[in-house]
Amino acid sequence: MSREPIPARISTSSKVLVERQFLVTVTEPVAIAIVGVGKIARDQHLPSIASNARFRLAATASRHGGVDGVENFETIDTLLSARSDVQAVALCQPPQVRFEAAAKAIRAGRHVLLEKPPGATIAEVETLVAMARSQGVSLFATWHSRFATGVEPTREWLKGKTVRRVAVTWKEDVRRWHPGQAWIWEPGGLGVFDPGINALSIVTAILPPVHVTRATLEFPEGRDAPIAAQLTFAGESGFSATADFDWRQTGPQTWDIEVETDEGRLVLSKGGAEMLVDGKAVLADSDQEYAGIYRRFAELIEAGESDIDLSPLVHVADAFMLGRRSVVEPFED
């Protein structure tokens, strides 16, 4: 992989920060390492890397076991020290420890992919943005739900229409998706906003800007993160928007975004994989979210750009700032 400096260019919008640092010509697969080989890495990252010819899994760093046939290191420090050939890292640890790992990788000149949420705080991610700019590496704050099949067609369908009402219903079973993962109940773990932020990443991609005006957060007794949340939003466009997040749902899971407009009712269902207009399915497809993430990461590395959008995390931070706290019955995995 060769790298040719080009003039810096910063393109900003209300949602996405993209920074051009270098023009990179990829002549062979990018050697990438996964840091944190847990459930999400095994379920999504490993298959997506394996199916993308622009990447080669070169190493892992994990205290809980690596990948057969791939060198594993106990820490990211030993990985970065021993493997100068690793050009990029995908950070899949809990958000509370991600900043330190990302900072070390950036200082070592490696491109960095951040699992969602990109950090435990907004300020730490902004620090990483400045570091990546200084080091001339690509930083990608991923929002996997934005790569669901129906998200871009929904955004296109909504163009030119007047949005009147939005209702987000995002309910799932924490025991199914995060079994025994204590970090999600600790400060910085986000609780129900770990899945809820997926919905917010779609909302911020398809709708005009909104802001949180009211929130109720339900904390299980003895826990430091909420298990349910109800949010109300407002924006300059004047439409009403609500979000109902719950981590106690068993049986079928619910991941729906309903948008009423002056020209019909759209429902983005199954986490964005299915799109219905006035009750009729117009699009349905399988899960391709993480494949989309790695396609995008390859594009960023090749173009010498970074892609960081903090708007979903801003909504979560605002919900915690405005939220009325309610203590509910204890919850145990």
Residues 40, 64 contacting (CB under 8 angstroms): no
Distant-in-sequence, close-in-space partners of 1: CB < 8 Å, separation ≥ 6: 24, 25, 26, 27, 28, 30, 87
CA dihedral 250, 252, 254, 259 (to 10 degrees): -150
**Run of H or E including 73:** strand 71-73
Residues 244, 170 contacting (CB under 8 angstroms): yes
**Run of H or E including 17:** strand 17-25
Cβ atoms within 10 Å, residue 10: 10
The span from the CA of 171 to the CA of 185, in Å, is 17
Q: Which residues carry out catalysis?
A: 116
The span from the CA of 306 to the CA of 10, in Å, is 10
Residues 193, 244 contacting (CB under 8 angstroms): no
Instruction: For residue 73, report the phi and psi dihedrals to the nearest 5 degrees.
Output: -120, 150
